[in-house]
């Protein structure tokens, strides 16, 4: 993407609270991490929001499954959920994600 449209996107995202504009969709993660300027401004924030929303979703899912496991008495291996797979894919494509996670300090 050329610099002018990217600059407009950055200004639009900066003009309001990013969390009010945030949507929990993998395309947003991939878009932000495709452009170093956006990563610098929004990388840690988008990962924080992604992980927060993922945790809320996972907690609700686990509480439902815990009841089911108690009834069946069995624990089984589970594949990572879609959100975790998306994050792993993003880390493979954009190593800057790892650096962001390592340097992350919650707000």
Measured in residues, the chain has a length of 107
**Average of pLDDT values for 45-66?**
73
Separation of alpha carbons 74 and 43, rounded Å: 39
Per-residue pLDDT at 31: 94
Write down the mean pLDDT value for the chain.
81
Q: Could you tell me the residue ranges of all domains in the chain? A: 16-64+80-107
Per-residue pLDDT at 90: 92
Separation of alpha carbons 47 and 29, rounded Å: 8
Separation of alpha carbons 25 and 45, rounded Å: 14
Which tens digit of pLDDT belongs to each residue from 65-99? 655 555 555 566 778 788 888 999 999 999 888 88
Per-residue pLDDT at 103: 83
């Amino acid at each position: 993407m050329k610099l002018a449209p990217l600059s407009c996107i950055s200004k639009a995202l900066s003009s309001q609270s990013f969390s009010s504009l945030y949507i929990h969709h993998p395309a947003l993660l991939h878009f932000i991490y495709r452009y170093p300027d956006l990563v610098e401004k929004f990388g840690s924030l988008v990962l924080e929001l992604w992980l927060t929303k993922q945790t809320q979703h996972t907690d609700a899912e686990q509480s439902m499954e815990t009841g089911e496991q108690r009834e069946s008495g069995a624990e089984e291996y589970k594949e990572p959920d879609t959100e975790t797979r998306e994050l792993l894919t993003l880390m493979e494509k954009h190593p800057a994600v790892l650096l962001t996670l390592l340097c992350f300090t919650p707000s």
